[in-house]
Chain A
Amino acid sequence: MIQLSNVSKIYPPNAAALKGISLQIEKGECVFVTGPSGAGKTTLLKLLCREEEPSEGEISINGKNLIRLNSRGIARLRQQMGLLFQEFKFLPHMTALDNVALAGLVVGAPRGASYNKAYHLLREMGLEKKYNVKPLALSGGEQQRVAIARALMNDPIIVLADEPTENLDAELADETMRLFLESRERGTTIIVASHDLDFSQRYRTRVISLHEGYLVDDSKLASKEGRTG
């Protein structure tokens, strides 16, 4: 379970990206975080993977306070996460297959098994003919698919995806979401940041709306209120 209590993030000197966010996300839930550019969607995801620390408030995942994690704890947290951000963070001298398999190798998975799984994931993403190509030689959409494959490599318990379908055509965007939702069946919690409200509503999942750092709408709360009201 992910819990945010009154979380704010202020970048120096005084740019508030998030203001007093409190929310709870259950295990296996799929949540779309929407809002216009600058609403704080990416900052929220960065706080959840401990890329950033909150200026105020507390964030806990499965009862563990993220602020108190040391470097070993952060590494362990990220090993359990599939991260997909707009900056893909590939190793340019390695092939797409190497980049995906690396995520398995760093957690100590056997080499053969890591490469087999990496190849399988790349094939599912339609990259079976390009697995041996270095990331910079791939198109934006192809790079995105390599990043998705890498995010799913270690059967993560949480997937954080920032605009995961931005560079993909409609068919591939649906395929990507199918993969994410499939992993949800294993209990994976999915949090997707997207500025595209229509896209997020298509999957009939919980939608959280941010605006200028404030949480302005949460479909889960709205439906509860609707039921009780």
Chain B
Amino acid sequence: MKISQLGLVGRRVCSSLRARLWTHALVAGTMAIVLFVFGAFLLAQENLQNLLKKWGDQIQINAYLDKDLDAAEVSLLRHKIQNFSEVERVRHISRQQAWKDFQVALGAQSNVLEGLPEDVLPASFEIFIKPAYRDGPIVEAFANRLRKEKGLTSVEYPQEWVNRLSLMVLALQWAMWVLAGILFVAVFFIVRSTVRLAILAQKDEIEVMQWIGAPEELIQAPFVVEGMIQGFIGAGLSVLGLWFFLRFLRDQTPTLIGLFGSLDHLQFIDWGSIALILAMGSLLGASGSVFSLRRFMRTWRG
């Protein structure tokens, strides 16, 4: 396409955007809503992945001690475990310390423990794993080895939770792409219908352009550019909406008990995801236009 033709496309786009501002705004708004839903899934997925990484970094094994072990046996066992190549350090939690930690964890509700003996909780080792060994199967194999050690009644590690959360993230990813597929098909048809209306509104103009020998790409280009602009603006609005949504969650929602502890740690989607949303919006707008145009041009061309 030559420069003069590009200028012509630019002028036609500006003129169409001015003439049908509300129609364009409606399409951009619809796309913003759909992309917001998609972005919300991305936001959830990225934050869960961050959580997984954080948990992975803090990975530790809790090994509970037999009640009958004396101090010398505990020290010997601790020394043995410390010498395993996977272990970074071992911390001994006595029964009294475990009781105190539990009281602190319960906070205001610690009075429910009144009347219970202070040695009700078992002593344990908190075993911290070296970074090089913080991998699911390695930790699992090590935990199984520990289970065979005499003096340990049970061995627990959070990898099981990490595995479950990983599954959850995977399910969320699938749900996101399936939902995205359904939403995008819906938006595609909305965009296509709107473009069809725009084409009908400009039918005379298209016919005149065809009459004077305008190449097909020159006739189609303004519609495709309009679709891209609509999609890009819709995607931009959805990213903005997500940012406000996250701010609302951080500022207005009180600390939640559960998975996240506090929503203060929630992070906004990264630049790659923002670029993905913007690209998807533009592509969706452009493809809706192309499909509508192909059909109409075929009908009209003499």
- Which residue numbers of A lie inside 8 Å of B, CB to CB? 50-53, 71-72, 74-81, 83, 89-93, 102-103, 105-111, 114, 150, 154
In the complex, what residue of chain B is closest to A110 when comparing beta carbons? B4
Interface residues of B in 1-31 (CB under 8 A from A): 1-5, 7-8, 15
Interface size class of B (residues with CB under 8 A): 20 to 34
Query: Is A106 a contact of B302 with CB atoms below 8 Å?
Result: no
CB distance from A97 to the nearest CB of B (A): 14
Could you say which of B210, B211, B216, B301 has the most chain A C-beta atoms within 10 Å of its C-beta? B211
Query: Is B208 a contact of A90 with CB atoms below 8 Å?
Result: yes
A residues less than 8 Å from B204 (CB atoms): 91-92
In the complex, what residue of chain A is closest to B208 when comparing beta carbons? A89
Query: Is A111 a contact of B7 with CB atoms below 8 Å?
Result: yes
Give Cα distance in the complex from A154 to B214, angstroms.
12
Give Cα distance in the complex from A79 to B207, angstroms.
14
Interface residues of B in 140-176 (CB under 8 A from A): none
Query: Is A106 a contact of B214 with CB atoms below 8 Å?
Result: yes
Give Cα distance in the complex from A187 to B204, angstroms.
32
**Interface of chain B: mostly helix, strand, loop or mixed:** helix
B105 within 8 A of A: no
A residues less than 8 Å from B1 (CB atoms): 108
B residues less than 8 Å from A91 (CB atoms): 204-205, 208
Query: Is B302 a contact of A77 with CB atoms below 8 Å?
Result: no
In the complex, what residue of chain B is closest to A154 when comparing beta carbons? B213
Give Cα distance in the complex from A75 to B209, angstroms.
9
B residues less than 8 Å from A77 (CB atoms): 213
Query: Is B301 a contact of A78 with CB atoms below 8 Å?
Result: no
CB distance from B205 to the nearest CB of A (A): 6
Interface residues of B in 206-241 (CB under 8 A from A): 207-216, 218
B183 within 8 A of A: no
B190 within 8 A of A: no
CB distance from B214 to the nearest CB of A (A): 4
CB distance from B291 to the nearest CB of A (A): 16
In the complex, what residue of chain A is closest to B215 when comparing beta carbons? A75
A residues less than 8 Å from B205 (CB atoms): 91
**Residue B216 contacts which of A72, A90, A92, A102 (CB distance < 8 angstroms)?**
A72
Give Cα distance in the complex from A112 to B178, angstroms.
52
In the complex, what residue of chain A is closest to B3 when comparing beta carbons? A110
CB distance from A80 to the nearest CB of B (A): 8
Query: Is A111 a contact of B4 with CB atoms below 8 Å?
Result: yes
A residues less than 8 Å from B3 (CB atoms): 110
